[in-house]
Structure 1
Amino acid sequence: MTGQLPLGQGEFGSAERMSGGGVLVRALAAHGVDTAFGIPGTHNLEVYRHLEPYGIRHVTPRHEQGAGYAADAYARVTGRPGLAITTTGPALLNIAAAAGQAYSDSVPLLIVSPGMPLGHPRQSTGTLHEMRSQTEAMRGVTAFSHRASSVGEIEAAVARAFTLFRSGRPRPVHIEVPLDLLEAHAPTGPARLAPPVDVRRPDATAVREAAGALRRAGRRALVLGGGARGAADACLALAEELGAVVVTTANGKGVVDECHPLSLGVSLHVPAVQKALADCDAVLAVGTELAESDLWTAPPATLGKTLIRVDVDPAQMYAGVPAQVGLVGDARECLREVRRALAAEPDGVSADPDTPALVRELLHERDAATASRDARWLPYLRVLREVCAQDAVFTSDSAQCCYYGALPHLPLGPSGRYLHPTGFGTLGYALPAAVGVQAARPERQVVALSGDGGLQFSVQELATAVQRQLPLPVVVFDNGGYGEIRDEMTARGDRPTAVDQPPVDLPALCRAYGGAGERVTTPGAFAEALARALRTPGPTLITVPEETSA
């Protein structure tokens, strides 16, 4: 049953008549929302008038897609749902790509928009921002898209969203409030809250089966995805107890310190690592889809002799690579139960002493295979690691310098974060995501990494960064266009078409917005520029031309 805040307890307990916009914002605040990303428009003004009274601060990006990416990043670094507010029609469609990215990466993103009035005819009338169905458009990229039909239903829709965020695999949600409901006033009771949700615990029989398989195994491995992040300590402890190889997906980067002797870092896509996992007696995969976007190839029929999967989503037990043993529940709870079962045996479990040597061998094989390609980025990535704090947050784009360069070659530990648009693979994520991180964690160093092609999908967010006046290095490896697609065309034997772009003086563009900008051609110059950028209020765009970066 939905919980309630009692009457008379501050601003959430009012029994007065309230507008639909007021009910919406009160419900958001009652669920702990303190930050919103969005752009005011003609149709959402009744929402905006209530934000400040309910203590919700607002960050104004320059495009709704930027608002979505910023709210996504806010959610990733806080663990709380990120809120984005749009107006009707084109604004909502602008944020759809960000919703798709949040869906792909299991991010709790709440998108709130107005909609056409309740009685609006189905036939087009030419009303401002009119479209056939906003909810149908958003259902393809969200867990659900809910159109409220009364003022009283608004807070129920918000509670439904937060119940989803708390009870299973997080996904984005869209709530639409018709224009006439936003302005309509109705009697209200106390704010209704999503109910508390118990942490889901794994089946005891499955725990015993998992522990038995791990105990009997000679060679063992842990594959960690984004769903393992809340269980970082348990992942490390179990890996050390088993002497298991640790490999992560992009979303799992840094769950276990990538400098640990058992860690292969982000290497699940490497053929040699995939072969090593196939040869393992037992593989424990935590919070990962084991999908094409993780493996960079079609998933194999099996992974190891026994694959144990841990996931809050039961559907993952038979998706991607099917599990022989499935533990459905919270990752921390599942791993705690497995460790208890292992410790309960009189002989315990013995760690494989040969694993560190195997890890060194696999890392050498991984890096040797791509040395000529990756050489252009490695000196600059070393500078990033040396200059930036251990708990710095790096935001990433779908760019070669990021997925070939930084993901495997920029080592992180659990105190740092690396936010990458996996799966859906949108361009333009890094810069607005960095704005979202700064809104959530202004005390942390934040660095955005991008290519020149991807940056220009959201380059207008430099203005947002200037307005906020927090130090933000934006590092752009410039390869003159869309380098990945250029390489794919060449590999097919095609003539590269529409991938080479005229040069843009990106540092000058940043200066035009009110920030700073530099062009560097050596790692030494980059180190100096990066150090300055981390001390300079506002964004500093640092361009590294790739033809001179090797």
Structure 2
Amino acid sequence: MQRPLGAQISHMLKARGVDVIFGIPGVHNQEMYRGIEEAGITHVLARHEQGAGFMADGYARATGRPGVAYVITGPGLCNIMTPMGQAYSDSVPVLVISSCLGDTVSEQGQLHQMRDQEAAAATVSDWSETARTPHAAYQLIDRALAEFQLDRPRTKHISVTIPALEAQAPPPPLVPVTTIGKPYIRQTELHECARLLTRARQPLIIVGGGHRGSGIMIERVAEQTGAAIFTTYAGRGLIRDDHPLYFGASLARSSSADIIAQADLVLAAGTELAEVDLWRKDLGHDCPMIRVDLDQTVLSDRHGASYRYKVDASQFFAALQHETKDATPAVRWRADAVAAQRAAWRAEVEVERPGIASVCDALRAALPDKTMIYSDMTQFAYTAKEVWPMAHPHHWHHPSGFGTLGYAVPAAIGGAVARRDRPTLAIIGDYGFHYTMAELGVAVELGLPLPIILWDNGKLKEIEDSMTRAQIAPNAVIARNPDFCKLAEAFGAYTAAPASLQEMQEAVRTAFAADGPTLIYLTPGIMERAAPSAAHAPSSG
């Protein structure tokens, strides 16, 4: 049946598996809202388009399915561009659909007018296109959804002109029935990889968040070839924390370059080996490298891979474990040396940010199994990413690439919407909370049992420390904070201000059983009552 195109788009998305949309309606995009309820889609009303974008990101990370956001022309799109950039850099499938003006050439001074909305969004997305007809809108939506499955998943943006949204349109095409597969590695190439690994005397595997399959496959390859393993922060949980040859997520430790230099073959899969993975220019290897990734630009980057395979990392390891099953490894890495190095790195973390690791240990011990965590740009999270053993992959989400403040709370809301029957936690600093604190109202409105750990050190402490190291007199690093507990209560949230780690643990357990979000307010003072660090606290998260 004929409907306005805005309504047809919602029906099309529902038919393709989209059941939640995040956004804010406005006079320009209201036609997109005509069909939402009729299509059976749940709409989550954000308080700001930036919050809507982070929610879509958090939903996508929790489910592996696209997170979708509706925004208006001009300022709505500008407001969501920060989350778009975050999802782009972290390979998250987010689809943003905005309205746009039909004519920006012959008319000036229109409401929400931008000079080039399509080009602006293109700077923070894989692509940005404008649909002026129903056919174009349908084609672009199917293109975006297909590419999320086929290629490296990154933000897509579609603008639809207001005249097109308002006009009657035919139904969208039927859901494509073609099964989309990722590029595969040829048998000859697979055999060559296996030969290189089995002949190496001290191979090293580095795996990142691009590996979406089971970590057991990686461990089998490592055990069959005698390889040691690093993961990136995003790859935590893929490898058992007690694996004897697992160096942890410690690539950012400067001395990890010395460890990597000992390898005679490096296999890096599903990772950019980016600045935010290493915090140095070079990985540290002086040997051949095998690179496995879906992104051609990664395969040909500065790290100079000798063997490059454009293939899904999960498919690669699934095939490689069979190819190496009969190998006889000559294990040169020593488990006791790996354990000693990990202990040394943890000690470094504790010296750099005293006391926080103990708080992390206590928090981790209080979480239910398979808690999904969303963290923000805060020293608490920076510490946790290095010392917090993960029992499950893809259960800790951090704004790594773009590095945005204010990510954790709205992203955790998106994750909690996707995981209604499973535990979700947010960790955010006092300054980051200022960015998106209004989204707390959404969590209250939805009745989400979401604990929010608010780490208040009263300043931009990481920046203050950086200024001090650079011999810059710290300035502009302190902002006057509100009474965060009273603020949260004004939204209708629960609050707790524990004075000890035991009280914090009890507050977290209570928060998971609540009928709404709980702000758990922590200050560095809690570290004064912290017990000695437990390097192997009970597994959770």
TM-score interval for Structure 1 and Structure 2 normalised by the shorter chain: over 0.9
Taking the TM superposition and a 5 Å limit, the aligned residue runs for 1:223-372 are: 223-300=206-283, 303-343=285-325, 348-350=327-329, 352=331, 354-372=333-351
- Find 1:378's aligned residue among 357, 373, 383: 357
Q: Report if aligned partners of 2:289, 2:305 keep a CA contact under 8 Å in 1.
A: yes
The aligned counterpart of 1:206 is 189
Counterpart Cα distance in 1 of 2:186 and 2:253? 33
- Find 1:469's aligned residue among 447, 464, 475: 447
- Find 1:139's aligned residue among 113, 122, 127: 122
**3-state DSSP class of the match of 2:390?**
coil
C-alpha distance 49-351 of structure 1, shift in aligned 2 (>3 A): farther
Counterpart Cα distance in 1 of 2:495 and 2:171? 52
Counterpart Cα distance in 2 of 1:423 and 1:282? 27
Taking the TM superposition and a 5 Å limit, the aligned residue runs for 1:1-12 are: none
Q: Report if aligned partners of 2:225, 2:324 keep a CA contact under 8 Å in 1.
A: no
CA deviation string 1:174-219 (max 9, x = no partner) = 0111000001013346435384322321133332222122111222
**3-state DSSP class of the match of 1:333?**
helix
The aligned counterpart of 1:97 is 82
Matched, 1:502 2:480: yes
Counterpart Cα distance in 1 of 2:358 and 2:344? 19
- Find 1:169's aligned residue among 152, 173, 179: 152
Q: Report if aligned partners of 2:5, 2:166 keep a CA contact under 8 Å in 1.
A: yes
C-alpha distance 94-286 of structure 1, shift in aligned 2 (>3 A): same
Q: Report if aligned partners of 2:234, 2:394 keep a CA contact under 8 Å in 1.
A: no
Shift of 1:446: 0.9
**3-state DSSP class of the match of 2:435?**
coil
Shift of 1:34: 0.9
One-letter amino acid of the structure 2 residue matched with residue 288 of structure 1? T
Shift of 1:124: 5.2
The aligned counterpart of 2:432 is 454
**3-state DSSP class of the match of 1:22?**
helix
The aligned counterpart of 1:109 is 94
Counterpart Cα distance in 2 of 1:103 and 1:356? 38
Q: Report if aligned partners of 2:371, 2:424 keep a CA contact under 8 Å in 1.
A: yes
The aligned counterpart of 1:436 is 414
Q: Report if aligned partners of 1:253, 1:266 keep a CA contact under 8 Å in 2.
A: yes
Q: Report if aligned partners of 1:111, 1:174 keep a CA contact under 8 Å in 2.
A: yes
Q: Report if aligned partners of 2:350, 2:357 keep a CA contact under 8 Å in 1.
A: no
Counterpart Cα distance in 2 of 1:351 and 1:105? 36
C-alpha distance 264-304 of structure 1, shift in aligned 2 (>3 A): same
Shift of 1:230: 2.4
Counterpart Cα distance in 1 of 2:232 and 2:377? 15
Structure 2 portions without partners, runs of 5+: 529-541
- TM-score w.r.t. structure 1 length? 0.92
**3-state DSSP class of the match of 2:276?**
helix
Structure 1 portions without partners, runs of 5+: 1-15
One-letter amino acid of the structure 1 residue matched with residue 46 of structure 2? P
Counterpart Cα distance in 1 of 2:17 and 2:251? 36
The alignment's C-alpha RMSD in Å is 1.8
Counterpart Cα distance in 1 of 2:463 and 2:278? 19
Shift of 1:342: 1.9
One-letter amino acid of the structure 2 residue matched with residue 102 of structure 1? A
One-letter amino acid of the structure 2 residue matched with residue 535 of structure 1? A
Shift of 1:364: 1.6
One-letter amino acid of the structure 2 residue matched with residue 358 of structure 1? A
Counterpart Cα distance in 2 of 1:187 and 1:58? 24
Taking the TM superposition and a 5 Å limit, the aligned residue runs for 1:59-74 are: 59-74=44-59
C-alpha distance 511-28 of structure 1, shift in aligned 2 (>3 A): same
Q: Report if aligned partners of 1:466, 1:538 keep a CA contact under 8 Å in 2.
A: yes
One-letter amino acid of the structure 1 residue matched with residue 269 of structure 2? V
One-letter amino acid of the structure 2 residue matched with residue 312 of structure 1? L
The aligned counterpart of 2:174 is 191
Counterpart Cα distance in 1 of 2:212 and 2:248? 14
Taking the TM superposition and a 5 Å limit, the aligned residue runs for 1:68-83 are: 68-83=53-68
Counterpart Cα distance in 2 of 1:152 and 1:530? 50
C-alpha distance 155-193 of structure 1, shift in aligned 2 (>3 A): farther
C-alpha distance 38-194 of structure 1, shift in aligned 2 (>3 A): farther
C-alpha distance 234-502 of structure 1, shift in aligned 2 (>3 A): same
Q: Report if aligned partners of 1:222, 1:246 keep a CA contact under 8 Å in 2.
A: yes
Q: Report if aligned partners of 1:521, 1:549 keep a CA contact under 8 Å in 2.
A: no
Counterpart Cα distance in 2 of 1:477 and 1:221? 36
Shift of 1:415: 5.9
Matched, 1:46 2:28: no
Q: Report if aligned partners of 1:391, 1:416 keep a CA contact under 8 Å in 2.
A: no
Percent of residue pairs bearing the same amino acid type: 36
Stretch moving more, 421-430 or 240-249: 240-249
One-letter amino acid of the structure 2 residue matched with residue 84 of structure 1? A
**3-state DSSP class of the match of 1:447?**
strand
One-letter amino acid of the structure 2 residue matched with residue 325 of structure 1? Y
**3-state DSSP class of the match of 1:280?**
coil
CA deviation string 1:439-496 (max 9, x = no partner) = 1111111110111111111111110111111211111111112111111111121111
Counterpart Cα distance in 2 of 1:351 and 1:528? 49
- Find 1:396's aligned residue among 359, 375, 378: 375
Stretch moving more, 153-162 or 16-25: 16-25
Counterpart Cα distance in 2 of 1:85 and 1:187? 21
Q: Report if aligned partners of 1:489, 1:495 keep a CA contact under 8 Å in 2.
A: yes
Counterpart Cα distance in 2 of 1:258 and 1:26? 45
CA deviation string 1:216-244 (max 9, x = no partner) = 12222221111113242312222232343
Matched, 1:549 2:527: yes
The aligned counterpart of 1:6 is none
C-alpha distance 476-259 of structure 1, shift in aligned 2 (>3 A): farther
**3-state DSSP class of the match of 1:321?**
coil
One-letter amino acid of the structure 2 residue matched with residue 39 of structure 1? I
**3-state DSSP class of the match of 2:189?**
helix
C-alpha distance 535-363 of structure 1, shift in aligned 2 (>3 A): same
C-alpha distance 492-190 of structure 1, shift in aligned 2 (>3 A): closer
One-letter amino acid of the structure 2 residue matched with residue 126 of structure 1? G
One-letter amino acid of the structure 2 residue matched with residue 328 of structure 1? K
Counterpart Cα distance in 2 of 1:545 and 1:127? 48
Q: Report if aligned partners of 2:495, 2:519 keep a CA contact under 8 Å in 1.
A: yes
Shift of 1:106: 0.7
